[in-house]
């Protein structure tokens, strides 16, 4: 249960479908762990292919997962036919992304007619201990019906 009421009764199918169309998520090995209105968790296993120079997961990969988490959480609250795009986000990195498995948890802070503000946190599970490794705050924009369907507008917020 979340405090948000989805506008689209099919939110679950459509949000899941949108995530699955993100081929970058497949490439990075990221999947949906939980999906509620306004709240989405993603999960990712450690992979050497995603590391920086010290063998930890690259901050950009962590950010990609956090961005998708926020995007899908925002998407669950959109009316039917609407698209969304990311306007901006900030990531703070708190600890090395060291672990066997990673969790990314987004919560919508405010869902407006045009803009949504979303916050997300990344956690690393290492030897059975979960550590907060990064935070994100981001802004996303709704593209109403007809416009949301126009592919060429889809990621052009300004």
Which residues, including other chains, have CB under 8 Å from residue 67's CB and lie 6 or more apart? 86, 89, 136, 138
Q: Which positions from 41 to 70 touch a copy of itself by CB under 8 A, shown as an x/- string?
A: -------xxxxxxxxxxxxxx-xxxxxx--
Which tokens is 108 given? 């919508």
Measured in whole angstroms, the distance separating CA 9 from the mean position of its chain's CA atoms is: 20
For position 87 contacting a copy of itself by CB under 8 A, the verdict is yes
Cα angle value 79/31/59 (rounded, 5°): 100
For a copy of itself, the closer CB: 2 or 22: 22
> Which residue shows structure tokens 């498995």?
101
31 binds a copy of itself (CB under 8 A): no
For a copy of itself, the closer CB: 41 or 119: 119
Q: Which residues bind a copy of itself (CB under 8 A)?
A: 18-19, 21-27, 48-61, 63-68, 85-98, 109-117, 119, 132, 135, 137, 139, 141, 151-158
């Amino acid at each position: 249960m979340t405090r948000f009421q989805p506008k689209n009764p099919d939110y679950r199918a459509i949000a899941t479908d949108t995530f699955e169309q993100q081929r970058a998520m497949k490439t990075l090995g990221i999947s949906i762990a939980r999906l509620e209105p306004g709240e989405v968790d993603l999960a990712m296993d450690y992979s050497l292919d995603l590391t920086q120079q010290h063998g930890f997961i690259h901050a950009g990969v962590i950010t990609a997962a956090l961005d998708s988490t926020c995007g899908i959480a925002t998407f669950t609250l959109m009316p039917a036919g609407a698209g969304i795009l990311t306007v901006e986000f900030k990531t703070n990195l708190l600890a090395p992304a060291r672990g066997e498995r990673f969790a990314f948890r987004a919560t919508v802070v405010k869902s407006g007619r045009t803009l949504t503000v979303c916050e997300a946190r990344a956690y690393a599970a290492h030897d059975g201990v979960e550590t907060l490794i990064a935070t994100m705050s981001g802004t996303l924009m709704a593209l109403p019906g007809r416009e949301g369907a126009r592919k060429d507008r889809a990621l052009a917020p300004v």
